[in-house]
Structure 1
Amino acid sequence: MAQGGMDGAFTALARRLRSPEWTDDLFGPPRIVGPEFDDLALQTGPADWSPAQAALFERLQRIKPRHKLAAVVSACNDALILPEWITHHLAIGVEKIFVYTNDNQDKTEELLRWFAQHAPVTLLPTRLGRPVDVQIKNFHHALFMLPELRLYEWVAFLDSDEFLLPAARFEHSLPKMLDAAPADAAALLFPWHWRLWRFELTRPEGLLATHYPHATPHYLAKSVTRLDQVASFHQKHFPEFATPKRLYDTAFRPIERGTNWHLDMKTGEGGWTEHFWGRSFAEFVVKKRRGEALGLTESHFLRDFETYFSWTSPPTAENYHPWPPALLETLQSRLAGFGKDPYFAALRAQIQTSFAAQGAALRQDAALYGLFEDMSRRFAPAG
């Protein structure tokens, strides 16, 4: 039933793309990514495609880019950090942001509706019919059911806690970095810069960029890719292509196939994926419950409480990596500009108040607060 629903959507879109007026659809209401697309989460490449999907893929490849750079992100209960995430990526040169979101209880969707009216943001609500990896579903939906994504030469596929940060030699501009990339680059892998966190029950108001100034290299990465021939994102961290393509690190060194996961094969010389994974314990609890709600028996979303305390390190002079001052100033200025809208300001205040209430509720939860206190003592740095 689901495959039939998908095939109908693939066929209808392929038919629509035969018309030069297909871009008129871009100005319609937000599209709901329904359960009929759940099977996209299970695909690993062309071997899993139906004839209708293969025909659509061929049609999509004919679309010629007109713009430089877009981003695709999957978000859930991320209202606290999305304004900073969106503003940061606009500041580094992303021209269009496509946000998939599902199962929110914290005004994330309401916030994104505001951004869709006031910034180059497209909202794509996702609905699940059964337990699947929603991020893979979303990324594959973007590959096949967002023809407007093909209007951009490069696309960054990210999580809502991952911030791309091009190096100073590119003036922290992603388009300038991409202009300098090798002509045969199909994707650039940006290594994770694992932002370190303190054991805090709840995070005070303020920016991630200023609250977490320490980071260490991590062996994983996220990609900025040309969509030509991209056949799968089932690995999520990097694309897989229908035909062999060249991948590079941010120093523009080629990465051999099969080495994508090894830190020693990548460098952050040209830029990082700044990964704010931990943050406050209250935010971790939201993340953990979100993963458990998916109903998957095996998933990277399923984390033990202990990981919050064991996956960070003490701040030192060696791992001090403050945010670039000029970029921080731009970020603060643009956020202040958005804040001049009374509705946006009131909505952010409601989100902050709601999050503060979550922290207060944690203090009243004897089991969770006791766990936080015990683990904080157990993993406290020596001395």
Structure 2
Amino acid sequence: MLKYDTIFVYCNDNTDGSDALLETLAEHSIIRLIKNEVGPDVSPQMKAYRHAFFYCPDLWEHEWVSVVDSDEFIMPMIDGNFLGDIKQYISEIESRFAASAICLNWKWFPGNLSFERERKTCFQQFKNSSPSDHVKITFRLRCAEDIVSVHSIKLKKGACAINGGGTPISLPTYRCDPDYSLGQINHYWQKSFEEYILKIERGSAVSGVSIIDRSVDNFFQWWSIGSPDPLPPVSHIENVLAEMGALLDKPGVSDALSIVENEFNKLSKERRDSLYELYNEVKEKVMGIRNTHQKPSTSNLTRDAEPESCKTQIVQQEKITPTTLANEKLSWSPRRINQLAASLGAGSYLEIGVNKGATFHAVKIKERTGVDPHFHFDVLEVLNEQILLYAMTSDQFFAKVPVDQIFDLIFIDGLHTFEQTYRDFCNSLLHTHSRSVLLIDDTLPNDVYSTITDTNRAYKYRAATGNQDKSWHGDVFKCVFVLHDFYPGLNYRTIVGSGNPQTLVWRSNLGGREPRFNSLETISRLTYFDLMDEKAILRESSEEEAIHLCLSEMSKSVSVIQSS
């Protein structure tokens, strides 16, 4: 996908059926395949690299070469932008730095705690990464004197090498201080637990030892590092998927891939029970979390999802905990939620979209449930029997939660698109009672750019006007229009003037109104300017007025029900 002229693949003593796939790709001239048979305690990597450098004349038909493993992916960057053409990238490196080699740092992608291998690309599965000082090299062949390690070369006199920031460095070296200005190497070592165990048992490609000396504990320890990584961009992932589809259409490729999958499934099936037992045993030891396999009770959800769904992420940077929040002035979200909770006597709380936990930690409700694909705080520091955290998408959560699980107060602050927020709203309604209230975040965008559902595009177009503001709300406002037209049994007010705009929703038929659009499709196509024309539909109100009206109408509804 980076437009290399040739991909040389060295394989050594494969036992997983992948030879059939590689041979088929070679027949179609997609790759050049070299069988790299090695003896005991011989480094497969060094044997392959040195063979290519000294004994492969086809390699020397090329001017530049990149040395990477099959679990590593090069992400070139120029001027802050991903560059999907390696030749253009090398041309920039030569012209800007007069360099004959560039060493890019790893970004370590530590996995997501899944037990089973998923049928997705690494790009799709693993989103969090952490910096690493290890590097992999791309270099001009005629300027290299020798390959001295799996990470480095010896350059000829007069040749220059640079790091990922464009600074000259001395070779050989396999480490540099992380600098990702010119790109990175995405390193997907860990993946699922099944793949992790098999990789350990497969042996070391570096040293050639038959079993890698790595503890099973590492699988649960390494996952706790990392933060969301912007690379690769969505456009590149789409191109990769399209190219994969084209490859699968070539004769024999799909059948050869099936051989690999069948071999893995066979091996997995033979050992599944023992591996799953080991997974849970070590998970409990390292993380203090047990998989009970019990159906969640109707009063209290279990925190233990099936292993393939357990994708909690802990980030050490910018750590937010109840302790650090104790002396901070509450922001608008927890302030509003706590006032409602105190007035309603709320005992259960659901938050969709927890992120760093700034709101979640500050909410003063006894039983709290949080949902987010990636928690950016130390989960183990806050988990207990009354605080439950589900590291999954909201769709996955609502598919698992018992239908009779009820929450007194729900805060919806997930993906800020109309489609997802409306889906979260509909699913949340199924888990409410007559005195439950819902608070929807970001329902009034501050400008037209804020309604663009792609944050990068929103910031880019706003910045083009000279405005560097980073506000972003998406098109969540459309949910309020749907409320207005299709939910006469719900009343609402959009809180403005004392923090981020949010819409408070409660059960009441006292907020009578006539449908304005009467069409979901029409509402889904509304623009920021339509919102400005129909702004009255938001029913803007101060925080004090909105909460007072909510409590007042709910009290009246209860009185009417009791008197009847």
Q: Would you call these one fold, judging by a TM-score over 0.5?
A: yes
Aligned to 1:371: 278
Cα–Cα, structure 1 residues 194 and 101, in superposed 2: closer, same or farther, change >3 Å?
A: same
C-alpha displacement of 1:246: 1.5
Residue in 2 that maps onto 1:277: 189
Other-structure match for 2:136: 222
- Residues in 2 aligned to 1:255 and 1:132: alpha-carbon distance in whole angstroms: 30
Note if 1:303 corresponds to 2:214: yes
Q: Which one has a bigger Cα radius of gyration?
A: 2
Cα gap change, 1:344 to 1:258, in 2 (>3 Å): closer
Question: Which aligned pairs between 1:52-131 and structure 2 lie closer than 5 A?
Answer: 91-131=1-41
Which residue of the partner structure matches residue 243 of structure 2? 334
Task: Measure, in 2, the Cα distance between the counterparts of 1:246 and 1:327.
Answer: 30
Comparing 324-333 and 339-348, the one that deviates more: 339-348
Q: Cα 1:308–1:181, aligned 2, differ >3 Å: closer, same or farther?
A: same
- 1:336 maps to a residue whose letter is G
The answer to whether the 8 A contact 2:151-2:174 is kept is no
Secondary structure of the residue aligned to 1:219 is: strand
* Residues in 2 aligned to 1:157 and 1:298: alpha-carbon distance in whole angstroms: 23
Displacement, 1:247? 1.2
Letter in 2 for 1:225: F
1:310 deviation in Å?
Answer: 2.1
Distance, in Å, in 2 between the alignment partners of 1:270 and 1:345 is 36
Deviations 1:227-276 (A, max 9, x none): 1242332321121124353211233221245765132xx41112110000
Partner of 2:228: 319
Cα gap change, 1:256/1:129 in structure 2, threshold over 3 Å: closer, same or farther? closer
What does 1:1-383 align with in structure 2 at a 5 Å threshold? 91-167=1-77, 169=81, 171-182=83-94, 184-243=98-157, 245-257=159-171, 260-263=174-177, 266-291=178-203, 301-313=212-224, 318-321=227-230, 323-365=232-274, 368-380=275-287, 381-382=379-380, 383=383
2:184 and 2:54 mapped to 1: Cα distance? 28
Extract unaligned runs of 5+ from structure 2: 288-378, 384-564
Change (3 A) 1:166 1:294: closer
Please give the secondary structure, in 1, of the residue aligned with 2:228. coil
Deviations 1:191-211 (A, max 9, x none): 101112122222111111101
- Partner-residue secondary structure (3-state), 1:278: coil
Separation of aligned partners in 2, 1:175 and 1:189: 16
Deviation at 1:333, TM superposition (A): 0.9
Rate the CA distance shift 1:379–1:119 in 2: closer, same or farther, 3 A: farther
Q: How far off its partner does 1:346 sit? A: 2.1
* Cα displacement (A) at 1:312: 2.5
Per the alignment, residue 13 of structure 1 pairs with none
Output the amino acid matched with 2:220: F
Structure 1 counterpart of 2:240, one-letter code: L
Q: Is the 8 A contact 2:201 2:210 kept in 1?
A: no
User: In structure 2, what is the Cα distance between the partners aligned to 1:204 and 1:283?
Assistant: 10
Any unmatched runs of 5+ in structure 1? 1-90
CA 1:330 to 1:228, structure 2 compared with 1: closer, same or farther past 3 Å?
Answer: same
Question: Deviation per CA, 1:13-49, whole angstroms, max 9, x where unpaired?
Answer: xxxxxxxxxxxxxxxxxxxxxxxxxxxxxxxxxxxxx
Amino acid at match of 1:254: P
Maintained 8 Å contact 1:166/1:174: yes
C-alpha separation in 1, matches of 2:126 and 2:2: 19
Query: Residues of 1 paired with 2:206 and 2:180: CA distance?
Result: 33
CA distance in 2, matches of 1:325, 1:208: 13
Maintained 8 Å contact 2:24/2:256: no
Kindly indicate whether the alpha-carbon contact (under 8 Å) linking 1:282 and 1:362 is maintained by their aligned counterparts in 2.
no
Match of 2:308 in 1: none
- Is the CA contact 2:76–2:184 (under 8 Å) kept in the aligned structure 1? yes
The AA in structure 2 aligned to 1:140 is: R
Match of 1:267, SS state, is coil
User: Match for residue 30 of structure 1?
Assistant: none
Tell whether the 8 Å contact from 1:213 to 1:323 is kept in structure 2 after alignment.
no
Query: Contact 1:215–1:321 (CA<8 Å) still a contact in 2?
Result: no
Identity %: 23
- Which deviations, in whole Å up to 9, do the C-alpha atoms of 1:97-124 show, x marking residues without a partner? 1111111111221111111122341110
Query: CA contact under 8 A between 1:188 and 1:224: conserved in structure 2?
Result: yes
RMSD, aligned CA: 2.5
Letter in 2 for 1:232: D
Q: Summarize the Cα distance change of 1:178–1:224 in structure 2 as closer, same or farther, 3 Å threshold.
A: same
Report the residue type matching 1:379 in the other structure: V
Higher mean Cα deviation, 338-347 or 148-157?
A: 338-347
Q: Aligned equivalents of 1:162 and 1:205: distance in 2?
A: 18
> CA 1:123 to 1:356, structure 2 compared with 1: closer, same or farther past 3 Å?
same
Name whichever structure is richer in helix by fraction: 1
1:338-364 Cα deviation digits (max 9, x unpaired): 112352112223322332333333323
Structure 1 pair 336/172, CA: closer, same or farther in 2 (3 Å)?
same
What is the CA distance between 1:161 and its match in structure 2?
Answer: 0.4
Q: Tell me which of the two structures has the higher relative contact order, counting C-alpha pairs closer than 8 angstroms and 6 or more residues apart.
A: 1
Contact 2:203 2:210 in 1 (8 A): no
SS of 2:267's equivalent in the other structure is: helix
| Farther off after superposition, 235-244 or 172-181 | 235-244
Q: Does the 8 Å CA contact 1:201/1:359 hold for their aligned counterparts?
A: no
Q: Distance in 1 between matches of 2:205 and 2:187?
A: 23
Contact 2:74 2:186 in 1 (8 A): yes
C-alpha separation in 2, matches of 1:141 and 1:251: 31
Q: Distance in 1 between matches of 2:185 and 2:31?
A: 21
